[in-house]
Every structure is written in structure tokens, then in C-alpha cells.
Amino acid sequence: MPEQEDGNKGVTIVGGGLVGSLLAVSLGQRGLRVHLHESRSDIRRAAGGMNAGFEDCLVLTECLTESGGELAAAAQLYQDNHWSDTHAICDLSMYNYIEMRSHVTSPLFLIRKRIDNALHYLFPSLFIPLYSMVAFTRIPYRRVVERHNVQQTVIRRGLWGLSLASLGLLGYLIFKFSGMEVALRYRILPCVFKCVVNDYLRH
């Protein structure tokens, strides 16, 4: 927190949207010196700033309740407990920007989204898509990032396992019904299998 001229703590607010601006006015009326930072970039417009702002208000309210309504203690508690979530939402904003810029036209990305939705439909309490966690739950942002990484690892390994199983089935069918059994067994399929395994290990 920045120091005021009288030595008391000031407040820095990042984001000058509806919630940030109202919070700045409210804190200013209480006598605090407020530093409001706003940058109208594509990243800000692409991110879920309103949802993040409302979440911050809820967290600050909980801190005020826990500190008995003492603003300085609540602000310090908020800073101590919420800083990692602040870093996480910045990372999520950048990820969302890159996703909207580069991935939404990719067929593979669209297939992954369909898999996410299908898994959420089948296992609603175990698998929650990233956007749903950020927009429709109160899961802390740092936990959102951790859970998303775990879910994507499970999907990636599942897809690779399915690919290897399909490759094995294809090899079995080729060996059974093709007259080129020896050539395929000792040259083509081992090469394909090696490429698939090496690609999986790189990820």
C-alpha cells in the first residue's frame, strides 16, 4: 500500500471500470488516498473484469467482517490473503487474450472445447471448464489455474492413450488382413509408434 502524506497507508486500485471506480470514490470519502490505475488495452476488454471486480468486493466484505469493520486491518488482510489470486487473474486474462486472438478458429481447439463440455456434463462436480470456474463459481483464481492444469493434463493423457490404443488396433488389423505383414511389422508401424511416443514425452 502507498504511504499518505500523514504516514498512514493509502490504497492502490488496479482497474477503473464500474467496480474499481465506485470503490475508489467510496474509499476516498473515508479519507484514504487512493491511486487508481487503468489501462484500456485489448487484454482488459478480453478479460472478465466485471466478474473479477465483484469477486474482489465479496472478498473485501469478508475481510471487513473478519476484522470487525476496521478498514485498515481489513485492507491488510485482503492484501495478505488475496495477492496470489491477483497474480492468477492476470495470467488468466493473458491466456484469454491469446485464446481469443489465436485459438478460436482452430479445429483442434474446438474439439477440445467439446470434450470439456462433454466431461462437465458427465461429471459436473469433478470437471468444470475454465471459463465456468472463473465466471460462475467462487473458486479462488489460484485454485482455478491449478485445477485447469490438472484437468488439461488428464485430457491430454487420455487422448494420447486413446491414440495409442487406436494405433495398436490399426496395426492388428493390418497384420491380420494384409499380405505385407512382415514389412509393416518391422518398418512402418515401429516408426509411427516411435514418433507418437516422442511427441507425447515432449508434452
Q: What is the DSSP string of 88-138?
A: HHHHHHHHHHHIIIIITT-HHHHHHHHHHHHHHHH-TTT---HHHHHHH--
What is the pLDDT, as a whole number, of residue 197?
57
* pLDDT of 17 higher than 60: yes
Tell me the pLDDT band of 128, cut-offs 50, 70 and 90.
Answer: very high
Beta-strand ranges (E) seen in the chain are 11-14, 34-37
Under 8 Å CB-to-CB from 113, ≥6 apart: which residues? 129
Specify the long-range contacts of residues 110-116, CB closer than 8 Å, at least 24 apart: 112/155, 115/155, 116/151, 116/155
* pLDDT of 174 higher than 50: yes
What is the pLDDT, as a whole number, of residue 43?
39
What is the pLDDT, as a whole number, of residue 188?
55
Residue-wise pLDDT for 37-89, tens only, equals 766 554 344 445 566 667 778 888 888 888 888 888 888 888 888 888 888 88
Entry field: residues in the chain: 203
| Nine cell digits for residue 202 | 515432449
Higher confidence at residue 65 or residue 102?
65
Taking phi over 0 as left and psi of -120 to 50 as alpha, with beta for the rest, 39 belongs to beta
What is the pLDDT, as a whole number, of residue 171?
73
Helix (H) or strand (E) holding 27: helix 18-29
Q: Kindly tell me the sign of the dihedral angle through the C-alpha atoms of 45, 46, 47, 48.
A: positive
Residue-wise pLDDT for 131-165, tens only, equals 888 888 888 888 999 999 999 898 888 888 888 88
d(C-alpha 156, C-alpha 140), whole Å? 24
